[in-house]
Homo-oligomer: A and B are copies of this chain.
Amino acid sequence: MALDKEQIAARLRQFQQTICEAIEKEDGKATFQLDQWQRPGGGGGDTRVIENGDVIEKGGVNFSAVYGELPTKISGALGLNANNFFATGVSIVMHPSNPHVPIIHMNVRYFEMDEDQWWFGGGIDLTPHYVDEKQCEWFHNQLVAACVKHDPNYYSRFAEWANDYFYIKHRGESRGVSGIFFDRLNSKSEGKSKEELFDFLLEVGESFAPTYTRLMNENKGKDFGDLEKAWQMHRRSRYVEFNLVYDKGTKFGLDTDGRIDSILMSLPPETGWKYTQFWPKGGAEMKTEEILKTRFVPKSSK
C-alpha cells in the first residue's frame, strides 16, 4: 500500500516526542508543556512549548495536521484550482537565553490537495547571535551528511534555496547563517518515489536533535554580560521582522486560521527596537553583522 497522509502525519508526530526529550535532557531544567488545539475548519495540533529553562528561554516544537477547504487567497498564491487541502508538519524554533547559543529553526511538512497533488517541504537553518565560523561550518556539514545519502545535488540546491529564502530584503542581510530549505518536492520534480522523498524528509528531521543539542552543549556555559544581551535583543528583533514580513509558513498559518499562539511561538520572549545603539568598533557584534551582510559561505558549498 502506498504511503498515505495518515502514515506521514503519524511519523512526524513521533519526531515531536523524540526532539522534545532530547532538548529537555540538554536543557536540564525546564520541560515542555502541551497545548492541544482544534482548527474550526478541520484538524488541529499539539503545541509543545518550553520556557525559562537553563538553556532555552522559549522554544516550541509544534505538530499540526490540518485539512479542509483551501482559502482562495492561498490557492491563488499557489496557482492552483484545488478545493481541499491536507497539511501536516513539525515546526521548531528555539530561543536560548545565553547569546552564545544560536537560535535554530526546523520545519518538515507534507501538503496534499484533492488527493492527486502532493509535495514535501522543509528545512533547517541556524541564526547565531554571534557567528562562530567553525561551529557554522560544522552545522552545515551535518546538513551535507543528511542530504548526500539521498541525492548528490540536494545540499547545494537546498542551501542556495535557503540563502534566497532566509534573507531580510529591507535590511540587506541574511537572517542567520542559512542552512537548507526546500519546497514542493514531488515525484515529478525529483524523479523519486514518494517513499524516497519521505525518507529524505525523515533524515532531515532526525538530524535536528543531535545537531542542536551539541550546539547547546558547546555554548551554554560561555560567559556573557549586558553588551551580549543587548546584542541578542537586537538580533532577535531582526528575527521578528523576517517572520512577520517574509515567512511563508507564518503567512500560511495566519491565512488558514491556524492557532495564533502556536504560529507565533517563533517570536522571541524579549526583544526590542532601540533607535540609537552603539556596538564596539571591531568587536564580535560588528563582525557578525558584516558576515550577515555579505552572507556566510560555508566551505561545504565551495
Contacts and interface: CB of A to CB of B under 8 A. Distances in A.
A16 B24 CA distance: 53
Given A245-B254, A254-B245, A275 B270 contact: no
Contact of A261 (B241, B254, B260, B275): B275
Contacts of A19: none
A49 B277 CA distance: 13
Given A58-B273, A245-B245, A268-B273, 16 more contacts: A33-B276, A51-B276, A58-B275, A60-B275, A169-B254, A171-B260, A241-B244, A241-B264, A264-B273, A265-B273, A265-B275, A267-B273, A268-B272, A269-B274, A270-B270, A271-B271
A150 to B, nearest CB: 35
Interface of A: 33, 49, 51, 58, 60, 169-171, 233, 237, 240-241, 244-245, 254, 260-261, 264-265, 267-276
B51 A275 contact: yes
Contacts of A254: 169-170, 245
A273 B170 CA distance: 23
Nearest to A273: B267
A48 to B, nearest CB: 11
Contacts of A269: 272-275
Contacts of A51: 274-276
A244 B265 CA distance: 16
A258 to B, nearest CB: 9
B276 A49 contact: yes
A241 B253 CA distance: 14
A237 B267 contact: yes
A265 B276 CA distance: 10
A68 to B, nearest CB: 18
Nearest to A260: B170
A271 B272 contact: yes
B244 A274 contact: no
